[in-house]
């Protein structure tokens, strides 16, 4: 079993660490600082931490104003509220003027679990990806989270980073760096390639191991940078393996699956199976139960890969 670490813990630690040397960094939260882990920064730098109360729209607006005043604001709340409640504030005050605001949203996806659909953001990536100029990132593990947060602090422009509540298996180590628009080809495969982000990257690696036992060579790409997306890598693995599975803890509409499909359709059409939330609200439940129900397991992903390979064969025999 791989080590398990919470992405949000690494966000909290990293932004507090960055705050030591970069005095322009300020942090805002909307009454969830314990959950998002911005409380770590709040304790270290109370004068640079602003609790905005349960007011996400005002939080984004205030962050935009702080950025306009030369600060580097990190604004955090749950993904559904950051992307949904404050969508038009993100578009108008952050995206449109290319304001230097970092939105670090935790509790994305279904692994929020028992809180149920009101708190399970399955649409946030679609919402944020539609806003021109935003960089949209879903890290695979705690180390990639730290790398993405460090990168965001140095980059001048708007960023959305989607994190989760649960601990995830560790994929990388603490020397991980983040480059926007670049995916990582973690494993090569000639039969099919998984393109995954977030929790799905570690599950895809497991699925590839399962498939290997039955003689199916599945590749794995980690695509934390959902926007900009790595066109070149997607086109390359599409050509090399001829079939893709895009996997994400997000709706099949508008997220990584859509982004991958768009690239493939316009460049090198091959079958793409999208693993994600099937345009639905998922009930309350333990995270493992919900992952199971959605097919977000090694077995579920392996199954999707077999279907992709099947489609490829059908197309070849036509």
Partner 1 sequence: MKLTKDVNELMEIARRMRVDILTMIHAAGSGHPGGSLSAIDMLVALYCGAMDHGPERKKRDRRDKFVLSKGHGAPALYAVLAECGYFGREHLKTLRQYESILSGHPYAPSTPGVEITTGSLGQGLSQANGLALANRLDGQDTFVYAMMGDGETQEGQIWEAAMTAAHYKLGNLIAFLDNNELQIDGFVCDVMGIEPIGKKWEAFGWHVQQIDGHDFGQIFNAIDNAKKVTDKPSLIWARTVKGKGVSFMERLAKWHGTAPSTDELNKALAELGEKP
Binding site for partner 1 (CB under 8 A): 26, 47-48, 50, 52-53, 55, 57-58, 60-71, 73, 88-89, 92-93, 96-98
- Please choose, from the candidates 221, 226, 246, the residue with its C-alpha nearest in 3D space to the C-alpha of residue 236: 221
Looking at beta carbons only, is 97 or 285 nearer to partner 1? 97
Q: CA 204 to CA 248: how far, in whole Å?
A: 10
Least Cβ distance, residue 62 to partner 1 (angstroms): 4
- Please choose, from the candidates 35, 202, 225, the residue with its C-alpha nearest in 3D space to the C-alpha of residue 134: 225
The active-site residue, picked from 3, 17, 47, 56, is: 56
Pairing of strands 135-137, 159-162: parallel
Q: CA 89 to CA 11: how far, in whole Å?
A: 23
Least Cβ distance, residue 60 to partner 1 (angstroms): 8
Looking at beta carbons only, is 24 or 289 nearer to partner 1? 24
Looking at beta carbons only, is 2 or 68 nearer to partner 1? 68
Least Cβ distance, residue 69 to partner 1 (angstroms): 3
Helical spans, DSSP H, in 131-255: 142-154, 199-213, 231-241
56 is catalytic: yes
The secondary structure of 234-295, three-state, reads HHHHHHHHCCEEEEEEEECCCCHHHHHHHHHHHHCCCCEEEEEECCCCCCCCCHHHHHHHHC
Least Cβ distance, residue 26 to partner 1 (angstroms): 7
Looking at beta carbons only, is 39 or 89 nearer to partner 1? 89
Question: Six-digit token pair at 291?
Answer: 């992952």
Looking at beta carbons only, is 67 or 203 nearer to partner 1? 67
Least Cβ distance, residue 77 to partner 1 (angstroms): 13
Burial of 311 (0-12, 13-18, 19+ CB in 10 A): middle
Q: Which residues are tagged catalytic? A: 56
């Amino acid at each position: 079993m791989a080590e398990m670490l919470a992405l949000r813990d690494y966000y909290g630690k990293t932004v507090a660490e960055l705050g030591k040397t970069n005095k322009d960094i300020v942090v805002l939260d909307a009454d969830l600082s314990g959950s998002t882990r911005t409380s770590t920064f709040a304790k270290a730098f109370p004068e640079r931490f602003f609790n905005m109360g349960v007011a996400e729209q005002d939080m984004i607006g205030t962050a935009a104003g702080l950025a306009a005043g030369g600060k580097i604001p990190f604004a955090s709340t749950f993904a559904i509220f950051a992307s949904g409640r404050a969508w038009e504030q993100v578009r108008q005050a952050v995206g449109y003027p290319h304001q230097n605001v970092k939105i670090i949203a935790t509790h994305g996806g279904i692994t929020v679990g028992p809180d149920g659909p009101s708190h399970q953001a399955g649409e946030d990536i679609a919402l944020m990806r539609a806003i021109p100029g935003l960089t949209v990132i879903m890290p695979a593990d705690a180390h990639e989270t730290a790398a993405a947060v460090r990168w965001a602090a140095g980059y001048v422009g708007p960023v959305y980073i989607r994190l989760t509540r649960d601990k995830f298996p560790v994929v990388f180590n603490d020397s991980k760096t983040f480059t926007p628009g670049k995916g990582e080809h973690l494993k090569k495969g000639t039969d099919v390639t998984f393109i995954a982000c977030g929790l799905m990257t570690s599950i895809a690696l497991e699925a590839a191991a399962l498939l290997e036992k039955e003689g199916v060579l599945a590749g794995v790409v980690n695509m934390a940078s959902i926007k900009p997306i790595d066109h070149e890598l997607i086109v390359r693995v599409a050509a090399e393996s001829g079939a893709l599975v895009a996997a994400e803890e997000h709706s099949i509409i508008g997220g990584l699956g859509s982004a991958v499909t768009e690239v493939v359709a316009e460049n090198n059409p091959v079958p793409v199976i999208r693993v994600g939330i099937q345009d639905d609200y998922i009930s309350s439940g333990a995270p493992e139960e919900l992952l199971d129900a959605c097919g977000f397991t090694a077995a579920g992903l392996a199954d999707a890969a077999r279907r992709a390979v099947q489609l490829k064969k059908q197309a070849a025999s036509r």
